[in-house]
């Protein structure tokens, strides 16, 4: 087999050194996800430093953020599921199923994005209220303005995010990174122009974001017309229920990890509003939005770190999937060990930053324009809420690695336990005993308990990989789920 043929069939995923492949795939994926996360974070940075928006704009951004995560959740379910499916089918030599999965993924993405846009436009008041937007009138007005324009960009955002992992599965992680980076750069350039130059406020931040998303989507369309390992045909777009269901089943973990975050944010925002109103300081009208604005900022930093963790793991999906399909569990096991080591390192570095430099972090988000209460609560929030970052990154990597093996059930169950049972449960329970601090405690407690459970699942997974390869995944069926 010559070099060109090997590239087109992705056979190099079975032969090249694991460390080299991880760098080749994980680094562009990390950058892609970081850039995607920067859309909302950059908006908040400029909003926070605009004196005429300030903490009200910050709080509004926090309220709308879960709704952008809903769109991302659907997109990554389709995209990551398609990526895993295509990688496994290419590894076993079945290119016919691979191109059908891509075509059906495109159709599912377009349909779901249009439905979501309609829901956001017609149910905006109800949705903003659900996520705590009624904390005061100023915050609600800012959130409604921001959501309207963000909703118009949802189809472009979802298409770009869904096709990003598909492009990686075709053997082009650098193009996937470049397309996302191009859109983010447009957002970074236009945000200050629209917010400070034109004084468009929340609308300016949203329009800058949408224009960047349009560019990313356009580049994805171009690539789909020039794919390498998978060639799209008219038949690729014919609805295939069996392929679509299997694609979605492999991406359900990605969906749940994102959508359950939405449930947790809804619980957290409402607990902040409820117990903030009972607080001696934040119960005062002029300070009511501070807890929501601050926790939103802390969660944005967490999103940056978790984007690195998820990017490292998701970048490995094509490598793991191909080697599972090619019956090389030894390489999949080697990759698992290397992945967990690097994930722990990322979590450790992030932990040092939040514990040593919380004032510098909050200073990026306009703390100089706010009261001392704002800074004090922000410092405590960073140090407490993010105190178990090492466990959080390792947990997230384990969920995605199981997904790439085809172990959809165990991956999904772990994600549900972390994000719904623990994430939502403790966010609702602990404030009853510790008031506002209870919201901050919910994160580290959830990560500790999840890590204990994850250790048992990983132990079983290692035993499976040391034996025979999980051949059911290679036969286009879910692999045996580790207990």
pLDDT over 70, % of the chain: 93
pLDDT in tens, 155-179: 999 999 999 889 987 888 889 888 9
pLDDT over 90, % of the chain: 38
Q: How confident is the model at residue 368 (pLDDT cuts 50, 70, 90)?
A: low
pLDDT at 2 over 80: no
Among 6-10, 18-22, 122-126, 154-158, the range scoring the smallest mean pLDDT is 6-10
What is the chain's mean pLDDT, rounded?
85
Three state DSSP letters for the chain: CCHHHHHHHCHHHHCCCHHHHHHHHHHHHHHHHHHHHHHHHHHHHHHHCCCCCHHHHHHHHHHHHHHHHHHHHHHHHHHHHHHHHHHHHHHCCCHHHHHHHHHHHHHHHHHHHHHHHHHHHHCHHHHHHHCCHHHCHHHHHHHHHHHHHHHHCHHHHHHHHHHHHHHHHCCCHHHHHHHHHHHHHHHHHHHHHHHHHCCCHHHHHHHHHHHHHHHHHHHHHHHHCCCCCCCCCHHHHCCCHHHHHHHHHHHHHHHHHHHHHHHHHHHHHHHHHHHHHCCCCCCCHHHCCHHHHHHHHHHHHHHHHHHHHHHHHHHCHHHHHHHHHCCCHHHHHHHHHHHHHHHHHHHHHHHHHHHHCHHHHHHCCCHHHCCHHHHHHHHHHHHHHCCCHHHHHHHHHHHHHHHHHCCHHHHHHHHHHHHHHHHHHHHHHCHHHHCHHHHHHHHHHHHHHHHHHHHHHHHHHHHHHHCCCCHHHHCCCCCCCCC
- 28-35 average pLDDT score: 77
pLDDT in tens, 318-331: 888 788 777 888 88
- 432-442 average pLDDT score: 93
Model pLDDT, residue 10: 67
Model pLDDT, residue 366: 66
pLDDT in tens, 122-135: 999 999 998 888 88
Domain-located, residue 10: no
Identify which has the larger pLDDT, 256 or 286.
286
Model pLDDT, residue 393: 94
Q: How confident is the model at residue 4 (pLDDT cuts 50, 70, 90)?
A: very low
pLDDT in tens, 145-156: 999 999 999 999
- Under 8 Å between Cβ of 120 and 149: no
Domain-located, residue 325: yes
- 402-421 average pLDDT score: 82
Identify which has the larger pLDDT, 84 or 126.
126
- 94-121 average pLDDT score: 90
Q: Measure the CA–CA gap between 291 and 278, rounded to whole angstroms.
A: 12
pLDDT at 8 over 60: no
C-beta atoms surrounding 472 within 10 Å: 14
pLDDT at 432 over 70: yes
Q: How confident is the model at residue 89 (pLDDT cuts 50, 70, 90)?
A: confident
Closest CA to 291 of 477, 469, 12, 63: 63
Write out the two tokens for 343.
């994930």
pLDDT at 9 over 70: no
Domain-located, residue 36: yes
Range of the domain at 329: 16-474
Q: Is 103 helix (H, G, I), strand (E, B) or coil?
A: helix
Tell me the whole-structure pTM to 2 decimals.
0.74
Model pLDDT, residue 100: 85
Write out the two tokens for 148.
């309207």
Model pLDDT, residue 57: 86
Domain-located, residue 5: no
Model pLDDT, residue 79: 92
Q: How many domains does the chain have?
A: 1
Domain-located, residue 428: yes
Domain-located, residue 480: no
Domain-located, residue 188: yes
- 381-399 average pLDDT score: 94
Model pLDDT, residue 67: 92
- 462-472 average pLDDT score: 65
- Under 8 Å between Cβ of 441 and 422: no
Model pLDDT, residue 1: 45
Domain-located, residue 460: yes
Q: How confident is the model at residue 450 (pLDDT cuts 50, 70, 90)?
A: very high
């Amino acid at each position: 087999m010559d070099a060109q043929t090997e590239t087109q069939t992705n056979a190099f995923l079975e032969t090249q050194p694991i460390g080299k492949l991880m760098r080749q795939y994980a680094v562009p994926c990390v950058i892609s996800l970081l850039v995607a996360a920067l859309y909302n974070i950059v908006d908040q940075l400029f909003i926070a430093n605009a004196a005429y928006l300030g903490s009200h704009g910050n709080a509004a951004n926090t309220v709308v953020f879960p709704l952008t995560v809903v769109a991302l959740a659907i997109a990554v379910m389709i995209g990551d599921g398609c990526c895993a499916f295509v990688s496994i089918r290419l590894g076993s030599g079945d290119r016919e199923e691979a191109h059908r999965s891509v075509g059906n993924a495109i159709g599912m993405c377009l349909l779901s994005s249009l439905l979501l846009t309609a829901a956001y436009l017609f149910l905006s008041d109800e949705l903003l209220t659900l996520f705590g937007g009624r904390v005061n009138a100023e915050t609600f007005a800012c959130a409604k303005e921001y959501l309207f324009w963000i909703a118009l960009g949802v189809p472009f955002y979802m298409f770009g995010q869904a096709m990003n992992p598909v492009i990686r599965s075709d053997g082009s992680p650098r193009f996937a990174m470049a397309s996302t980076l191009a859109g983010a750069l447009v957002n970074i350039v236009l945000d200050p122009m629209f917010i400070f130059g034109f004084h468009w406020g929340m609308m300016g931040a949203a329009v800058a974001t949408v224009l960047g998303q349009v560019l990313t989507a356009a580049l994805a369309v171009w690539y789909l017309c020039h794919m390498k390992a998978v060639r799209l045909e008219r038949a690729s777009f014919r609805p295939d229920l069996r392929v679509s269901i299997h694609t979605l089943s492999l991406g359900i973990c990605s969906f749940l990890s994102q959508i359950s975050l939405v449930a947790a944010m809804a619980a957290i925002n409402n607990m902040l509003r409820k117990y903030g109103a009972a607080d001696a300081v934040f119960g005062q009208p002029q300070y009511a939005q501070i807890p929501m604005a601050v926790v939103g900022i802390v969660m944005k930093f967490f999103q940056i770190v978790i984007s690195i963790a998820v990017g490292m793991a998701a970048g490995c999906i094509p490598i793991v999937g191909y080697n599972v399909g090619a019956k090389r569990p030894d390489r999949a096991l080697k990759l698992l060990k290397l992945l967990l080591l690097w994930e722990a390192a990322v979590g450790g570095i992030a932990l040092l930053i939040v514990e040593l430099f919380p004032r510098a972090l909050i200073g990026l988000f306009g703390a100089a324009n706010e009261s001392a209460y704002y800074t004090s609560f922000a410092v405590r929030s960073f140090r407490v809420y993010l105190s178990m970052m090492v466990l959080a990154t390792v947990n997230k990597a384990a969920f995605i690695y199981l997904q790439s093996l085809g172990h959809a059930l165990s991956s999904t169950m772990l994600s549900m336990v972390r994000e719904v049972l623990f994430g939502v449960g403790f966010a609702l329970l602990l404030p009853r005993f510790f008031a506002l601090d209870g919201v901050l405690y919910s994160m580290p407690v959830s990560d500790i308990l999840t890590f204990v459970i994850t250790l048992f699942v990983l132990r079983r997974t290692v035993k499976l990989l040391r034996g025979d390869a999980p051949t059911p995944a290679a036969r286009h069926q879910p692999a045996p789920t580790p207990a």
